[in-house]
Each structure stands twice: as structure tokens, then as C-alpha cells.
């Protein structure tokens, strides 16, 4: 399967998503948040650094719940278009 390359806008959106989630995580460890969200620490690290710019919706929901960030606030912080 060949993946279509991401656009600059998609990359930027992924970096913004990662920054917002990292900020919401605050002083909590990546291990703690990843465990609460049910994902690996490496996956969380990749999302926070923008290396996974388009994580699955349910992963984003789990992370938002784990850091106490309402989806509406996340939607407002990360441009969609």
C-alpha cells in the first residue's frame, strides 16, 4: 500500500495537535498518560512530536480524556482546514 504524502498543512496540524496535548499533559509523565489512554508511550511520544500527524480518532479521544481536555477545546485549538 502506498501512502499519499501529507501536505504541509496536514503536517502543521499534526504538530499543533501534539503541542496542545503535550501542554494539557502538564507535569504528568508520558508513561502515566499513555497507560490511562491505553496506548504505548512510543505512540504518545510520536503524536506529541508530530511524527504521527493524523492519529486515529479514538486515540485522540482517549488522549483527550486522559489529560482532561474536552474535545471541543481540542477542536478549537487545532485548525481543521
Whole-number average pLDDT of the chain? 91
CATH of the domain at 50: 1.10.260.40
What pLDDT score was predicted for residue 76? 84
Does residue 76 fall inside a structural domain? no
* pLDDT tens digits, one per residue of 9-46: 888 989 999 999 999 999 999 999 999 999 999 999 99
Does residue 25 fall inside a structural domain? yes
Position with higher pLDDT, 74 vs 39:
39
Average pLDDT estimate for 58-69? 96
Helix (H), strand (E), coil (C) string for the chain: CCCCCCCHHHHHHHHHHHHHHHHHHCCCCHHHHHHHHCCCHHHHHHHHCCCCCCCCHHHHHHHHHHHCCCHHHHHHHCCCC
Does residue 74 fall inside a structural domain? no
Whether the full predicted model's pTM is greater than 0.85, yes or no, is: yes
Domain count, the chain: 1
What pLDDT score was predicted for residue 81? 62
Amino acid at each position: 500500500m502506498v501512502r499519499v504524502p501529507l501536505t504541509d498543512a496536514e503536517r502543521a496540524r499534526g504538530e499543533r495537535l501534539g503541542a496542545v496535548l503535550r501542554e494539557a499533559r502538564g507535569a504528568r509523565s508520558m508513561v502515566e498518560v499513555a497507560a490511562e489512554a491505553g496506548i504505548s508511550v512510543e505512540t504518545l511520544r510520536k503524536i506529541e512530536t508530530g511524527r504521527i500527524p493524523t492519529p486515529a480518532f479514538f486515540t485522540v479521544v482517549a488522549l483527550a480524556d486522559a489529560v482532561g481536555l474536552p474535545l471541543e477545546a481540542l477542536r478549537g485549538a487545532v485548525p481543521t482546514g
